[in-house]
Amino acid sequence: LATAPVSPPPFSVDGFVKEFLHELNTNQGVALSRSSINDQYLALASTVKNYLMARWLETGRKTRESQAKTVGYLSAEYLLGRQLGNALLATDLGDIAQRGLELCGLDLATLRAQEVEPGLGNGGLGRLAACFIDSLATMNVPCIGYGIRYEYGIFRQTFVDGRQVEQPDTWLALGSPWEFPHPEASVTVHFGGHTEKYTDAAGTERTRWVPEWNVLGVPYNYMVPGYLNGRVNTLRLWSAQATQAFDLQIFNSGDYADAVRAQTFAENISKVLYPEDSTPQGKELRLQQQYFFVACSLRDFIDNELEEGFDLHRLPERIHFQLNDTHPVIAVPELMRILVDDHGFDWDEAWEVTQQCFAYTCHTLLPEALEIWSTELLGRLLPRHLEIIYQINDEFLARVREAFPGDELRARRMSIIAEYPSRGVRMAYLATVAGTKVNGVAELHSQLLRDKVLPDFSELYPDKFTNVTNGVTPRRFVRMANPKLSELITDAIGSGWVTDLERLRELEPYADDPEFREQFRAAKAWNKSRLTDLLAQRDGIELPDGHLLDVMVKRLHEYKRQSLKLLHIVSLYEQVHSGAIAAADLTPRTVVFGAKAAPGYKMAKDTIHLINKVAAIVNADPVLEGRLKVAFPANYNVTLAEKLIPAADLSEQISLAGMEASGTGNMKFALNGALTIGTDDGANVEIRELVGDKHFFLFGMSEPEVAQLGAQGYHPGSYYESNPRLKAALDLIWSGHFSDGDRYLFDSVVTNLVHNDRFMVLADFDSYLATQAKVEEKYADVDAWTRSAVLNVARSGFFSSDRSMRDYLKRIWHTQPVI
C-alpha cells in the first residue's frame, strides 16, 4: 500500500533563504540582525508550512474527487512531539534548510530546540494516535484526526527534594506556528436541559432535546504530512469558546463578575488535559470534554457530507470512525440523535447506519480503567443521549434474551447499564454493541479481551473481535531520532526501509559482519554521547562513559513495576555494602528512569520520590563510583524519548504478565538496537517471537501462571521471608537508609509490597535478578551483544505503524489508499 517515494519539486538553498528572510521580515516584523531565536524558529516554521500548503490543498481536492471513504480517528489525545523536524523530514527540506540557515549565520539544531512539543496526551494511547495519522498520510489514505486542543497539555514534571511537583504546560505561550484556526467554521455544542415529545408535520411522534446551555467549538487544523509523497492529511483539534449567548448574558447581567465567570466556565472545557491514564474519576468536566469534541467532529463531518450532496443513508460508505478507547464513545448516541432527531430517520434505519460507522479499540485490561458514567450525571448533562442509550440497551437485551432464553443472569451481566454499585453506563459495552469491530492492541491482549473482559460479548458476536498489534512510525522513531543508524542501514540496504520496514530483514546477514557490527557500535556510541550532552545541559546529570545503558521509560504505574527495577538497584547496592559481591565485579551500568505519575496517584508519587532518594545515595557512594549510577531526568516526553531510546542498550519491559495491553516503547527500543529484558506480556510476546529467544531476555511468570497464583492465593510475605536477598533490599529501604533515617517515609511503598503486592513484584524478583545476571554475561561478550542488537533491528520491521494501518484497513475499515 505504501507508494514509492516521490521527490518533491526542487527548492534551492537561495530560494529557501529568500523565503525565510521574507517570513522573518513580514510575519515576525524583525530584521535578521534584531531577531530572537523564537523569531527565527517561527520564520522557519512558516517557510516549511508555506511549502506544504499547496500540497495540503491538493490533498483535499484529490480526496474529495476520489469520493473515497475516510478514516475518522476519534481520540481525546494526540501526543504529537515536535513538528519541525518531522515536517523537514517529510518534505526532504532538512539539508536545504540547514545550508540556508548557515548562510544566514544560524544553526538549524538551535532553532529546532526552540520548539515546545504539543503534549496533548498522557502516554501510549496518545502517541499511538500520532503514529497512526503519520502512517495513514504516508500511505495515501484519507484520514481526519479529530481531538481536543487543550490549552494546557500534560503537566511539566519537576522534582523538589525528589518529589514530583507539577507545573502547567504552557505550550502555546511563545506562539504555535503549526496550527490554523478556523473560527468561521465553528460549531455550537449543546448541554443540559430536558427532552420533550412532539408530533411532526407528518403526524409522527418525535423527541426533541431542549438544551440549557451551549459552547462554541472552534477548529484548529494541523498539517499531517506524509513522508516524501506530497500528501498532507488533516488533524482537527477543537477549542471551546463561549458563545454569543454567553456574551449577551454578560452584557445584560447586573453582576458582571458572575457573567464573566460563566464565560470562563464554557472555556474551561478545553482548558486542560486530564493527567490520569487509568482509574477515571467520573468527573463532569471530563464528560463535557468527551461530548464536546465528539459533537464538534460529527457535526463537522456531516455538514461537509451534506454540502457535497451526499445522502446520510450512505454514511458508512463515506466514513469509518475509529474510537480510540472509550473516551469518544458518546459519539454513538450522538450519531443516533443527529440521524433520528435532526434528519428524521426512523430508529431502525439510524441504528443500521450507526452500527456500520464505528469500530472500537480497547487499550486496557485493568477493570478500574473501564469507563462507567453515572446515569445521574449523563442524564443531567446529556438527557437525550441517556434516553437513546436506554433504547439501544433495551433492544440489545432483547436480542440477548432471544439468543439465550431463560438466561437472565447473562442479560444482567451484559447490560450496557450497570446497576451495581450504582447506576452507570458501561462505555466499553456500548462501544462493543455499536461497532463493526472490537480490537485489542497486541495478540495476548486481544485474546484476554475476548476471554476475560468481554467473554459474553465474544460469544454473542464471535466475528466482531479482532486483533491489531500496535506499531510505531519509523519516520520519527528511527529515521529522525537515529540519523547514524539510519545512515548505516541505508548504506547497507538502500532507503526503502523507511516506508517498508520489513525490508530491515535484509540486514540479517550483516549481523555476522564484523565491520558492520563495529559501525553499529559506533552509531550507538554517538547516540550515547549525544544523550550525555543533552542530559548535562538539560538536567545537570552526568552520564559516565562506557556503561551499559539500562532504560525504563513509561508512565509510572504499579502494574508496570518500576518498583521491581528499583529493588534490583537497591539489591545491587546492598550486596556490595554487605560484602556479598565486590563493586569491581559489577558490570558498569547506568539506569535511566523517565516517568510521570498521575498527580492524584499517591503510590506512584511515593515511588518516584523513592527512586530519587535511592539515586541520590547510590550516585554519591564512592564505593559504587564508575559501577552503578541512577539517572532520573524530570519531565520525560516525546522530545526526550527521541534522544534516550537510540542511546539505550537495554530496554526494560517488566510489567506483570497480562497487564500491559501492548506497550509501544518496547518496539521503539528494539528498532533502535536495544535488547529487551521483559515479561511475556503485551507486544513483548510478539517481539520475542520475531527476534528469537536467544536475542531477548525473558523472565517472570506467564499470564496463566499469574492467574493460577492469584487463584490459589498470593502471599508476598512468604517471598520476603524466604528470599534473603529480597528481604535485605526491602529491609534496607524500611530502615530509613534512603530517607535520612526516616523509617516511615517509604513505609507505605514497602508495606504495600510485602503485604499486598497486587502486581506480584516479589514473586518475579528472583527470576528478574537471575535474568539480569544473564544480561551482564552477554554484555561482556561485545560481539555477541552487538549481533543480537543488529538482529533486533533486522527482525522488528513488523512493528511499523504502517503495518498496523494495513491491518486496520483490511480487517476493520475496508478502505483504500488514494493515489
Distance, C-alpha 816 to centroid of its chain:
25
Of the ranges 82-90, 363-371, 711-719, 771-779, which one interacts with ligand 26Q (CB under 6 A)? 363-371
598 binding ligand 26Q? (CB under 6 A): no
Residue nearest to ligand 26Q (CB): 124
- Of the candidates 55, 318, 464, 554, the residue annotated as catalytic is 554
Q: Are 671 and 562 in contact (CB under 8 A)?
A: no
Binding test (CB under 6 A) with ligand 26Q, winner from 23, 115, 179, 277: 277
Let me know if 555 is a catalytic residue.
Answer: yes
Show the site string, 447-476: x = touches ligand 26Q by CB under 6 A, - = not.
-----------------------x------
Which residues share a beta bridge with 233? Answer: 224
Let me know if 715 is a catalytic residue.
Answer: no
Let me know if 668 is a catalytic residue.
Answer: yes
- Picking from 546, 565, 543, 566, the residue whose alpha carbon sits closest to that of residue 643 is 543
Alpha helices per DSSP H over 319-454: 331-337, 347-357, 375-381, 383-403, 408-414, 427-434, 443-448
In angstroms, the CA 737 to CA 732 distance is 6
Q: Write down the least CB distance from residue 386 to ligand 26Q, Å.
A: 18
The tally of CA atoms less than 13 A away on the side-chain side of residue 756 is 10
124 binding ligand 26Q? (CB under 6 A): yes
Of the ranges 120-128, 183-191, 562-570, 685-693, which one interacts with ligand 26Q (CB under 6 A)? 120-128
Task: Count the Cβ atoms, other than its own, within 10 Å of residue 723.
Answer: 16
Residues in the chain: 819
441 binding ligand 26Q? (CB under 6 A): yes
CB neighbours of 291 closer than 8 A, spacing ≥ 6? 189, 191, 330, 334, 381, 382, 385
Give whichever of 364 and 607 is closer to ligand 26Q, judged by the CB atom: 364
Of the ranges 269-277, 513-521, 717-725, 758-766, which one interacts with ligand 26Q (CB under 6 A)? 269-277
Q: Are 812 and 468 in contact (CB under 8 A)?
A: yes
Q: Write down the least CB distance from residue 301 to ligand 26Q, Å.
A: 24
Q: Write down the least CB distance from residue 441 to ligand 26Q, Å.
A: 4
Binding test (CB under 6 A) with ligand 26Q, winner from 274, 516, 779, 798: 274
* Amino acid symbol at 790: V
Q: Kindly list the distances between the CA atom of residue 387 and the CA atoms of 196, 355, 373, 380, 758, in Å, as whole numbers in the listed order.
A: 11, 18, 14, 11, 39
- Of the candidates 524, 555, 561, 609, the residue annotated as catalytic is 555
Binding test (CB under 6 A) with ligand 26Q, winner from 682, 700, 797, 817: 682
CB neighbours of 406 closer than 8 A, spacing ≥ 6? none
In angstroms, the CA 464 to CA 362 distance is 13
Binding test (CB under 6 A) with ligand 26Q, winner from 156, 286, 450, 627: 286
387: left (phi over 0), alpha (psi -120 to 50) or beta: alpha
Q: Write down the least CB distance from residue 533 to ligand 26Q, Å.
A: 30
* Amino acid symbol at 196: E
280 binding ligand 26Q? (CB under 6 A): yes
Q: Which helix (H) or strand (E) holds 439?
A: strand 438-440
Q: Write down the least CB distance from residue 146 to ligand 26Q, Å.
A: 16
Q: Write down the least CB distance from residue 539 to ligand 26Q, Å.
A: 25
In angstroms, the CA 675 to CA 793 distance is 10
Binding test (CB under 6 A) with ligand 26Q, winner from 134, 169, 300, 371: 371
Show the site string, 606-645: x = touches ligand 26Q by CB under 6 A, - = not.
----------------------------------------
Give whichever of 278 and 467 is closer to ligand 26Q, judged by the CB atom: 278
The number of helices, as runs of H, and strands, as runs of E, in the chain is 33, 25
**DSSP classification of residue 622:** G
Of the ranges 271-279, 543-551, 586-594, 605-613, which one interacts with ligand 26Q (CB under 6 A)? 271-279
- Torsion sign (Cα): 122, 126, 128, 134: negative
Q: Write down the least CB distance from residue 279 to ligand 26Q, Å.
A: 8
Binding test (CB under 6 A) with ligand 26Q, winner from 107, 267, 276, 807: 276
Give whichever of 801 and 815 is closer to ligand 26Q, judged by the CB atom: 801
Q: Write down the least CB distance from residue 563 to ligand 26Q, Å.
A: 17
SS3 letters for 707-749? HHHHHHCCCHHHHHHHCHHHHHHHHHHHCCCCCCCCCCCCHHH
Q: Are 668 and 485 in contact (CB under 8 A)?
A: no
The interface with ligand 26Q within residues 641-680 (CB under 6 A) comprises: 660-664
435 binding ligand 26Q? (CB under 6 A): no
73 binding ligand 26Q? (CB under 6 A): no
Q: Write down the least CB distance from residue 219 to ligand 26Q, Å.
A: 22
In angstroms, the CA 323 to CA 712 distance is 37
Q: Which three cell numbers stand for residue 671?
A: 528498532
119 binding ligand 26Q? (CB under 6 A): no
* Amino acid symbol at 625: E
Give whichever of 49 and 561 is closer to ligand 26Q, judged by the CB atom: 561
Give whichever of 226 and 280 is closer to ligand 26Q, judged by the CB atom: 280
Going by DSSP bridges, is the β-strand pair 319-324/194-199 parallel, antiparallel, or unpaired? unpaired
Let me know if 664 is a catalytic residue.
Answer: yes
Residues in contact with ligand 26Q, counted by CB under 6 A, come to a total of 24
Binding test (CB under 6 A) with ligand 26Q, winner from 82, 149, 318, 363: 363
- Of the candidates 82, 231, 450, 560, the residue annotated as catalytic is 560
Q: Write down the least CB distance from residue 273 to ligand 26Q, Å.
A: 9
Q: Write down the least CB distance from residue 444 to ligand 26Q, Å.
A: 11
Cis peptide before 421 (omega within 30 of 0): yes
**Interface ranges with ligand 26Q (CB under 6 A):** 122-125, 128, 274, 276-278, 280, 286, 327, 363-364, 369, 371, 441, 470, 660-664, 682
Q: Annotated active-site positions, please?
A: 363, 554-555, 560, 664, 668
